[in-house]
Amino acid sequence: MSLPTSTVKTDPQWWRHAVVYQIYPRSFADSNGDGVGDITGIRNRLPHLAALGVDAIWINPWYPSPMKDAGYDVSDYRDIEPVFGTMADAEALIAEAHAVGIRVVLDIVPNHTSDQHRWFKDALAAGPGSPERDRFIFREGRGADGAEPPNDWLSEFGGPAWTRVTEADGTPGQWYLRLFAPEQPDVNWNHPDIHDEFTQTLRFWFDRGVDGFRIDVAHGLVKDGGLADIDGLPFPLPDDTPDGVEHPHWDQPGVHDIFRSWRTVADEYDGPRVFCGEIWVGRDHRLTAYLRPDELHTAFNFNFLMAPWLATPLRETISSTLAAHVAVGAPATWVLGNHDVCRPVSRYARPQELLKPGFPNLQPYLALPADILLGRRRARAAALLSLALPGGAYIYQGEELGLAEVEDMPEAARQDPIFAGTGGANVGRDGCRVPLPWTPTGDSYGFGPDGGAATWLPQPAEFAALAASVQDGDPASVLELYRAALKIRAGHPALGDGGLQWVDAGDDVLAFRRDPGFACWVNLGSQRVALPEGATVLLSSQDLTDHVLPPDTAAWLAV
Ligand code: NOJ
């Protein structure tokens, strides 16, 4: 194996200000016409990413997988899923991305494997009490014949978090813990083999030039040894939770030791290798505990993602995020969407006062009326807001096209295990995972070649008008707004890492200054707002007249 020649500039701090584009490989671009995106499809579309101006891509899991949870059920951490391509394709992508100045971040899934991983097969074959079972979390059931799960923990995908196995002699046997789908057994992080396996996996990909990892369910790896019942304890724990009260399987203090040891592995490499944690913990100080100098570099800012499009909660979230990150010396990240949550256009399309706190996938929004044009207008303003804030930013594929959630997908087409796991009570996440439109015509709007298999999720007719080629060169398009913003951001000394000073522009306006000479104003109210005299508009999310900011509009200013 030869290491890729990289032209990515050596910037030891790149992760403090990077704009990272999330690629959901099943849905980005399909080169071979099987209806599923692949690595060659990503390679073919690198010019789109280079023209967009992103610093890095994060690719959702591309490892061999039975695809019971779209690749988050990994059966081999050091190979490539054949549907996506080959190891040679992966190495070529890494080299080609580097050659156009884009770093490559992979997705590591350390909380659970696939039930088709060699270790889980060995565990089933070896039987109760074996060392092989000790790599997972097997327990006897409760009740007279062990027919009840070992405790009251619930799966994120619905129902109990335990699955009972049938032992080799055909009798009902032990239960194993799986906080997600039944095909995703949780591993036992008290076992040294687990540490070794993931350390080797990190090195395997770092040695191939990969620049970092997004860490799946990073707050879930360690479970309370007693496997105590949850007994109704909510998670995230409320803000006023006293010190010492811990949830038995989320955000356990022991998880930090794992990331300290991972950091030493990343730090062995010359070109900076970095981590971004997927950490849903609510309270800021619990999030930034993962970002202490000897742990992870960054974490997704889900509190920002979940904030409604209302000035007060947004301002408070931004302020508390920044204060907590400054305290540990880490940069914040600004995230509007990903493959698990309802697309921002469709979230912002709802009456924001009616949104309830909670996990923002499509289900809670369905009951509320939607004004998609309003949602898109707000999403444009939110893009400028998020790209102006101090730190790094994430763009989930399709946000740069202004795609909305696909809400009316036929039930028969739905693939997300949440839909099946909840008996259809929760529609799940398929609506944000629909294959991208690249052209206004063609069987799959340019996602794959004409004459190929149907796309793995159906695309709506509205995608034609939002295709990348339609928006290319149209100054009013979402795509050109993103391109312009990223271009300014890359060259402006005030943007990226750093701090901000709030400017008082009224309750409904988020206005802040960043030195030298930059300001961002966002109007979340219903009245037009005059921009400061003497300021020059660098970019705005809608056309402005008379130096006035209309509702649901953002402007970047030279001040
Ligand atoms: C978080 C991932 O983003 C999601 O897609 C997945 O279903 C769960 N973790 C389980 O791996």
- Dump pLDDT digits (tens) for 324-368: 999 999 999 999 999 999 999 999 999 999 998 888 899 999 999
Please tell me if the CB atom of residue 157 comes closer than 6 angstroms to any atom of ligand 1: no
pLDDT-derived band at 8, boundaries 50, 70, 90: confident
Q: Tell me: the pLDDT tens digits for 360-387?
A: 899 999 999 999 999 999 999 999 999 9
pLDDT-derived band at 11, boundaries 50, 70, 90: confident
Give the residue, by CA position, lying nearest to ligand 1 atom 11. 72
Phi, psi of 538, rounded to the nearest 5 degrees: -85, -40
Q: Tell me: the pLDDT tens digits for 233-269?
A: 999 999 999 989 999 999 999 999 999 999 999 999 9
Determine the pLDDT at residue 76: 98
Please tell me if the CB atom of residue 418 comes closer than 6 angstroms to any atom of ligand 1: no
Determine the pLDDT at residue 359: 85
Pocket test for ligand 1, best of 115, 339, 340 (most atoms within 8 A of CB): 340
Q: Residue 45 above 60 pLDDT?
A: yes
Q: Ligand 1: distance of its center to the CA of 217 in Å?
A: 7
Distances (CA, A) of 542 to 11, 253, 279: 34, 46, 34
Determine the pLDDT at residue 7: 59
Give the residue, by CA position, lying nearest to ligand 1 atom 6. 72
How many CB atoms within 10 Å of residue 381? Answer: 27
Kindly name the residue from 207, 229, 257, 268 that is annotated as catalytic.
Answer: 268
Pocket test for ligand 1, best of 217, 338, 396, 419 (most atoms within 8 A of CB): 217
Q: Ligand 1: distance of its center to the CA of 417 in Å?
A: 11
Which percentage of the chain shows pLDDT scores above 70?
Answer: 99
Determine the pLDDT at residue 10: 76
Please tell me if the CB atom of residue 324 comes closer than 6 angstroms to any atom of ligand 1: no
Q: Tell me: the pLDDT tens digits for 90-149?
A: 999 999 999 999 999 999 999 999 999 999 999 999 999 999 999 999 999 999 899 999
Please tell me if the CB atom of residue 186 comes closer than 6 angstroms to any atom of ligand 1: no
What's the mean pLDDT in 46-64?
A: 98
Give the residue, by CA position, lying nearest to ligand 1 atom 3. 340
Q: Ligand 1: distance of its center to the CA of 340 in Å?
A: 7
Structure tokens belonging to residue 236? 């995230």
| pTM reported for the whole predicted model | 0.98
Is 411 considered catalytic here? no
Q: Ligand 1: distance of its center to the CA of 99 in Å?
A: 30
What's the mean pLDDT in 62-76?
A: 98
- Strand, helix or coil at 275? strand
Pocket test for ligand 1, best of 69, 155, 432 (most atoms within 8 A of CB): 69
Torsion angle of C-alpha atoms 5, 10, 14, 20, degrees rounded to 10: -20
Please tell me if the CB atom of residue 180 comes closer than 6 angstroms to any atom of ligand 1: yes
Determine the pLDDT at residue 357: 84
Q: Residue 1 above 70 pLDDT?
A: no
How many CB atoms within 10 Å of residue 86? Answer: 15
Please tell me if the CB atom of residue 216 comes closer than 6 angstroms to any atom of ligand 1: yes
Helices 478-491 and 372-388 cross at an angle (nearest 10°) of 10
Q: Ligand 1: distance of its center to the CA of 508 in Å?
A: 35
Determine the pLDDT at residue 2: 43
Which numbered atom of ligand 1 lies nearest the CA of 157? 7
What is the Rg, in whole angstroms, of the alpha carbon atoms belonging to the chain? 23
- Closest to 215 (Cα-Cα) out of 198, 203, 230: 198
Is 507 considered catalytic here? no
Please tell me if the CB atom of residue 38 comes closer than 6 angstroms to any atom of ligand 1: no
Q: Can the peptide bond before residue 236 be classed as cis, meaning omega within 30 degrees of 0?
A: yes
Please tell me if the CB atom of residue 72 comes closer than 6 angstroms to any atom of ligand 1: yes
Please tell me if the CB atom of residue 97 comes closer than 6 angstroms to any atom of ligand 1: no
Determine the pLDDT at residue 499: 98
- Residue 285 CA to its chain's centroid (Å): 20
Give the residue, by CA position, lying nearest to ligand 1 atom 5. 340
> Tokens 């610093």 — which residue?
55
Whether the Cβ atoms of residue 511 and residue 502 lie closer than 8 Å to each other: yes
What's the mean pLDDT in 429-434?
A: 98
What's the mean pLDDT in 262-280?
A: 96
The neighbouring-strand residues paired with 549 are: 529
Pocket test for ligand 1, best of 180, 215, 338 (most atoms within 8 A of CB): 180
Please tell me if the CB atom of residue 340 comes closer than 6 angstroms to any atom of ligand 1: yes
Q: Residue 192 above 50 pLDDT?
A: yes
Pocket test for ligand 1, best of 22, 60, 63, 216 (most atoms within 8 A of CB): 216
Kindly name the residue from 211, 216, 295, 400 that is annotated as catalytic.
Answer: 216
Give the residue, by CA position, lying nearest to ligand 1 atom 4. 340
Please tell me if the CB atom of residue 107 comes closer than 6 angstroms to any atom of ligand 1: no
pLDDT-derived band at 6, boundaries 50, 70, 90: low
pLDDT-derived band at 9, boundaries 50, 70, 90: low
- Strand, helix or coil at 186? strand
Q: Ligand 1: distance of its center to the CA of 201 in Å?
A: 19
Q: Tell me: the pLDDT tens digits for 132-168?
A: 999 999 999 999 899 999 999 999 999 999 999 999 9
Q: Tell me: the pLDDT tens digits for 381-428?
A: 999 999 999 999 999 999 999 999 999 999 999 999 999 999 999 999
Distances (CA, A) of 23 to 42, 62, 396: 8, 11, 7
Helices 255-267 and 192-207 cross at an angle (nearest 10°) of 30
The 3 state secondary structure assigned to 107-176 is EECCCECCCCCHHHHHHHHHCCCCCCHHHECEECCECCCCCECCCCCECCCCCECEEEEECCCCCEEEEE
Please tell me if the CB atom of residue 69 comes closer than 6 angstroms to any atom of ligand 1: yes
